[in-house]
Each structure stands twice: as structure tokens, then as C-alpha cells.
Amino acid sequence: MNIVHYIKAKSLEEAWQLNQKRSAVILGGCCWLRMSPRRTLATAIDLTGLGLDEIHETEEAFYIGAMVPLRQLETSDSLEVFTQGAMKESLRHIVGTQFRNLATVGGSIWGRFGFSDVLTLFLALDAEVDLYKGGRVPLSVFAEQKADTDILKGVYLPKKKRQTAYASLRLNATDFPVLACAVSRTADGVSCSVGARPMRAQVRCLPAGTGMTPDDADRAAKEVADSLSFEDNMRASRVYRHDMATVLCRRLFLQTAGEGRK
């Protein structure tokens, strides 16, 4: 890569100060950043060593540090149980083990990529981001914002009894998703997010008990799909994505309606 200054920040404050300059960038796992070899980064800020690479579990929430690699999420037993396997399902298709040992949660969330499986699932889990200056912000709000010069410290996954499921369609197993869907059901409501439209994921909050029967699941899935916009790209057409959103959401409604994971 083309980096003029590489700085391993000694504190978040230092990182934040450095990041206020244009053409400064916070490094995640570098998996995406390295795709633009011609881009010049005046200052590359490394957050390793600031303790952001851990998953903490409290009574109230999981706190996932921004520098936690995706592979750590995937292999976390408590997240596996918490999401009935949806966490692993959302991650296991992403390139390969070696890639997921590098790519970070922070990079995935901060980038707000259209293709992001992580963003899609976390939206359904009612996640909140923890920003150095901005504090706790619902991910659904953050996902709609443009990148600024704040720093993402981590992500909260509020602990609540929930049934979650994830599904995606891909041209082949390790490709970007053609479409990604996540449904998470609590006593208070049902969150249904759809990503790779191919624009970034959006979430729809539905009343509790939505989609418990095949007919209602079908109706609700259609409603969700119709409420979202889709576009063509080289992987699929707008129409296919719309129709697949209906299929996948219906399946996930029913999957989460049953006891645990199918």
C-alpha cells in the first residue's frame, strides 16, 4: 500500500487527533484497503494494542471491540448460542479462514459496505455502535450516515432473549452475497434486515409475532421486500434481488418461529 506515515496510536485520543486530518485513515484488517494500491494514505492509524480486540460479555450486552477479527466472532461459543448459529452462518462464507483472521468487525461496520454480511446481521440484532466522540448510536442510524472523522471503538449487541436466523445467496460459496437477509425475533418485535441489495443493508422493525405461520410469513416477507429498493449489478438484477428477499425473509420468519434453529 501507499502509506506515508504509519502510526500505532498510543491512545484513542491520539488516534482521534490524527484522524482529523484529511487523507488520514484508521486501519482495520486492511483486507479492503489494500484493494486500492494506488491510493495514497498520508497517515495510517493503527489501533492495535488499545484493547479493542476483545469480546466482553456483561449481563446487559456483548461488547465487541472494533479490532476483533471476524474469525473471533465466528468461533465465539457464547455468540453462537446467543444467535442460534446465525453469527457463524453470516461469516463462514466470507472468503476464507485466513481472510477472516484479518478482517475486523470495525472495518466491516465502519465501511458500511453494501455487500456486508456483518452489517446485515448486526442490524437485525439491534446493535449499537460505540463511537469515541459520538458515544452509543443505534447501528440503524449509523448505517445511514456517511463516514466522518470519529472513531468506532466497538459494537454493543444488547442481550435480550431472541431467535435469530441468517441466510444469503451467492454465485458461489465464498463470493460476495447476491442477497443477504437476517431475521431476529424478540418478545417486543421482529427485526428483519436485507443487505447486498446491492446497496447497504436496511432493517425493518415488525410487530412481535409477525410471520409465525406460512401465510403470514409470506405476506410479511413481501411487505418487507416491497418496502426496500433494489438495484442491478454484475451479480444479479433488481428483480431477482427483490424476489429473493421475499423468499429468504419468509424462510427466516418461519425458521425463527420454530424452536431454535432448524
Partner 1 sequence: MKIQYWLNGKVENDEIAPGQMLYDLLRKKGCYSVKCGCETTACGLCTVWLEEKPVLSCAVLAARIDGKHVTTLEGLQGEAQKFARYMGQEGSDQCGFCNPGFVMNVLAMVRELGNPTEEEIKEYLAGNLCRCTGYVSHMRVLKQYLTEKGKGMRL
Partner 2 sequence: MREINRVVMKKDALQLVTGKPAYTEDLAPEGCLIVKALRSPHARAVVRHVDTKAALAVPGIECVLTAEDVPKTRFTIAGQTYPELSPYDRLILDTQIRYVGDPVALVAGRDAACVDKAMRMIKVEYDVQEPLLDFHQAVDNPIIVHPEEDWNPRVPVGGDNKRNIIAQAEEDWGDVDAAFQKADVVIDRTYHTKQVQQSMMETFRAYTYLDEFGRLVIVSSTQVPFHVRRIVATALEIPKSKIRVIKPRIGGGFGAKQTVVMECYPALITLRTGKRAYMVYTREEAMTVSSPRHEADVHVRLGASRDGMIQVISVESLWNGGAYGDHSPTTVTLSGHKSIPLYNRFSAFRFRYTAVYTNTIAAGAYRGYGATQGIFALESAVNELADTLHMDPGALRLQNIVQQGETMPAYFNETALSCNLGECLKRVQSMIDWEHVYPRQVLPNGKIRAAGLALAMQGSSISNVDVASATIKVNDDGFYTLSIGATDMGTGCDTILAQIAAECLDCSVDEIVTRGVDTDTSPYDSGSYASSTTYLTGMAVVKTCRSLIEKMKEKAARMLEHADASELEFTGDAVVDPASGRKVTRQELGNAAMITNDIALEATETHYSPTSPPPFMAAVAVVDVDPETGHIDLVDYAAVVDCGTVINPALARVQTEGGLVQGIGMTLMENVQFDSNGRIQNNSFMQYRIPGRMDIGSIRVEFAPSYEPNGPFGAKSIGEIVINTPAPAIAEAVYQATGLRFTELPITAEKVYMGLKSKK
- Does 262 contact partner 1 by CB under 8 A? no
Instruction: Tell me which DSSP letter residue 228 carries.
Output: S
Residue of 18, 121, 221, 236 interacting with partner 2 (CB under 8 A): 236
Residue of 31, 105, 165, 217 interacting with partner 1 (CB under 8 A): 31
Instruction: Give me the least distance between CB of 123 and partner 2, in Å please.
Output: 22
Quote the cell numbers at residue 169. 445467496
Residue 27 binds which entry of partner 2, partner 1, none, with Cβ cut-offs from 5 to 8 Å by kind? Answer: partner 1
Mutual orientation of helices 238-257 and 214-227 as an angle, nearest 10°? Answer: 140
Residue of 81, 141, 147, 171 interacting with partner 2 (CB under 8 A): 171
- How do 24-26 and 40-46 pair as beta strands? parallel
**With CB under 8 A as the contact rule, which of the stretches 49-57, 72-80, 217-225, 230-238 interacts with partner 2?**
230-238
Residue 3 binds which entry of partner 1, partner 2, none, with Cβ cut-offs from 5 to 8 Å by kind? Answer: partner 1
Residue of 10, 13, 17, 48 interacting with partner 1 (CB under 8 A): 48
Residue 239 binds which entry of partner 2, partner 1, none, with Cβ cut-offs from 5 to 8 Å by kind? Answer: partner 2
Residue of 26, 29, 123, 178 interacting with partner 1 (CB under 8 A): 29
Only one residue has cell 436496511, namely 202
User: Residue 65's closest CA among 104, 114, 11, 123?
Assistant: 104
**With CB under 8 A as the contact rule, which of the stretches 54-62, 139-147, 151-159, 164-172 interacts with partner 2?**
164-172
- Contact 20/9 with Cβ under 8 angstroms? no
Q: How far apart are CA 226 and CA 236, in angstroms?
A: 17
- Does 97 contact partner 1 by CB under 8 A? yes
Sheet holding 152-158, edge to edge: 55-57, 61-65, 152-158, 128-131, 135-138
* Element at 106 (helix H, strand E): helix 105-111
* Partner residues linked to 123 by β-bridges: none
Q: How far apart are CA 145 and CA 20, in angstroms?
A: 18
Burial of 224 (0-12, 13-18, 19+ CB in 10 A): buried
- Does 46 contact partner 2 by CB under 8 A? no
Residue of 145, 174, 227, 229 interacting with partner 2 (CB under 8 A): 174
Q: What is the 3-state secondary structure (H, E, C) of 56-93?
A: EECCCEEEEECCCEHHHHHCCHHHHHHCCCHHHHHHCC
- Does 234 contact partner 2 by CB under 8 A? yes
**With CB under 8 A as the contact rule, which of the stretches 30-38, 106-114, 134-142, 215-223 interacts with partner 1?**
30-38
- Contact 204/193 with Cβ under 8 angstroms? yes
- Does 175 contact partner 2 by CB under 8 A? yes
**With CB under 8 A as the contact rule, which of the stretches 22-30, 200-208, 216-224, 239-247 interacts with partner 1?**
22-30
Contact residues for partner 1 (CB under 8 A)?
1-6, 8, 27, 29-31, 34-35, 37, 41, 44, 46, 48, 71, 92, 95-99, 101-102, 173-174
